[in-house]
Structure formats: C-alpha cells, structure tokens
Amino acid sequence: MGIASRRRQIQEYLSEHDMLTVDDAVQLFGASPATIRRDFQEISVNGGARRIRGGICRRIDEHDNMIPLTLREKWYSAEKRYLAWQLYNKYLKDVRSFFIDGGSTTAHLGMFLKDPEQVVITNSLPLCNIIREMFPSGGGPQIITTGGRLYPGSGLLLGPQSEAAAAAYHAEVTVLSARGITASGIYNHNELIAGINLRMIENSDKVVLIADHSKIGVAAMHKVCPLHKIEALFTVETAENREILAEIRAAGVKVFCNSYQVS
C-alpha cells in the first residue's frame, strides 16, 4: 500500500471512529509501528487529526470532519486533473453558467475554464485562486462567490449566508464533488457541505458528479441526494468499483469512465 493511500484510509477510519492506536493501525494497514507513527505525525501536522499518547484521534470541534485541502489535494492529484479535463471537454465547454462545489477534485477545473462568456458560481476559494493565477491581468470566466463563513483548512465558504447566496442564482449545471457515491445516492461527510450542495442542486437544471475512483461505493454520514438527481458521473473504473458502477448505470446515471491508469 502506498503512503498516500494508507494516510487516506487512516483519515477515513477516523471519520467513523474517535481514535486509532498505533497497534491497531499496524494490524489494519500492514505497516511497521515506525511507519504508522510517521503517518500520524504528518496527518496531525496538516490538521487532519490530533496526536494522543499511543495513537491519534479525530479533532473534536465544529470542523473535525473536514479533511484539510492540503492533505486531500495530494491524493490522486493526476487522476483528478485528468477527470477535470475530461469533464470540461465532454460536458462543460458549451455551458454558459454553472455552480461548482468546493473540493480538491473540482478545483482542478480552474485550469480549463477560459471562456469569458461562462459564469461560475462557487464556494471554493482554491478554485478562485487557480483562475486568478491563470488570468493575472483579467479575462477568463466570470466568477461569483457565495460568501459565507470561511473554513481556512478546506478553503470553503459555508453556512446559512453561503446557502442563501446560492439560492439567489440559477445555473444550467451544478458540478459536485462528494465523499462517496453508492447505488443509494450521493454522500458527504459534513452537514454544512451537504447543505450548500442541496441549494446548488435545487437551483440548476442538471447535476454532474466528478469523483476519483476511491469514492465509488463509499457512503458517509450525510446523504446529499438520491441518484435520480444526478445526470452524469465522471470517474475512473477499476476492478474494485466495476460492480458498483454497473448499479449506478442501472439507476439511470450516465457514467463516463476514462482509460486513465490508476497508480
């Protein structure tokens, strides 16, 4: 198991458990105690959890279940960039207006949004920053931010103000990221994120999901919407997720699977 994959799985474990000891992690992930301790240290330094004697525990605060963007953006970054390129060229190139949900995968769309006739409504500061860096002298798509409370670790604008702002607009397409997708629907791990996702869905004509292969078959605490709300899914098919993707297709979702080789 690679370093990034193991650390992601540690974070996922902590999203459903209060703590994880070194001894338990050694058994779960087949790594040495020294390796696990290095993983714990890196995760805690990035704000993903809190070190305790003999292990690590989830942060007990209002955004304990928001894995920091600095950690998430390292996971499958090449795959996410490839999926964003596919999504833009196959689905978004001719769309005039869209909501873009904040996330490490959707942020990659900022590298492909160049049309000044397009309008992007988003709660993602990382996406805004990428577009600003792409067009330092102006130009590029028109950007509208939702406002709301900033959660610095994730770079997201969330809360009642953000949801109200999203509800004041209408877009042709909503582009969502998610913690997971199963045959039952779309899930996220935080109720504030799920809240603005719902406002975006309610105020757009179509919804498309972009998700790396690790999100397929994964559920989380907050169900955002059932599958019938989703028109299309852009992901990568693997031997492990092929059966779930077949169920998602059977539910009526257009699944765009790419030939990208997962490393």
Residue 20 CA to residue 10 CA, distance in Å, equals 8
The answer to whether residues 108 and 159 belong to one domain is: yes
pLDDT given at position 18: 66
Whole-Å CA distances, 183 to 135, 244, 252, 254: 40, 7, 10, 13
Predicted confidence band of residue 177 (pLDDT cuts 50, 70, 90):
very high
* Tens digit of each residue's pLDDT (9 = 90 or more) over 150-176: 988 788 999 999 999 999 999 999 999
Residue 211: phi and psi, rounded to 5, are: -150, 130
* Domains held by the chain: number: 2
Residue-wise DSSP of 76-102: THHHHHHHHHHHIIIIITT-SEEEE--
Look up the CATH number of the domain holding residue 104: 3.40.50.1360
pLDDT given at position 12: 74
The answer to whether residues 11 and 106 belong to one domain is: no
* Tens digit of each residue's pLDDT (9 = 90 or more) over 201-257: 999 999 999 998 888 988 888 899 999 999 999 999 988 899 999 999 999 999 998
Q: Confirm if 186 and 223 have CB atoms less than 8 A apart.
A: yes
pLDDT given at position 232: 97
Look up the CATH number of the domain holding residue 54: 1.10.10.10
Residue 184 lies in a domain: yes
Q: Using the predicted structure, report yes or no on whether residue 73 has a pLDDT greater than 60.
A: no
The answer to whether residues 26 and 85 belong to one domain is: no
The answer to whether residues 123 and 11 belong to one domain is: no
Predicted confidence band of residue 74 (pLDDT cuts 50, 70, 90):
very low
The answer to whether residues 94 and 220 belong to one domain is: yes
The answer to whether residues 21 and 147 belong to one domain is: no
pTM across the whole model: 0.72
The answer to whether residues 56 and 144 belong to one domain is: no
Range of the domain at 34: 3-60
The answer to whether residues 182 and 254 belong to one domain is: yes
Residue 205 lies in a domain: yes
Residue, of 215 and 71, whose pLDDT is higher: 215
* Tens digit of each residue's pLDDT (9 = 90 or more) over 75-121: 567 888 899 999 999 999 999 999 999 988 899 999 999 999 999 99
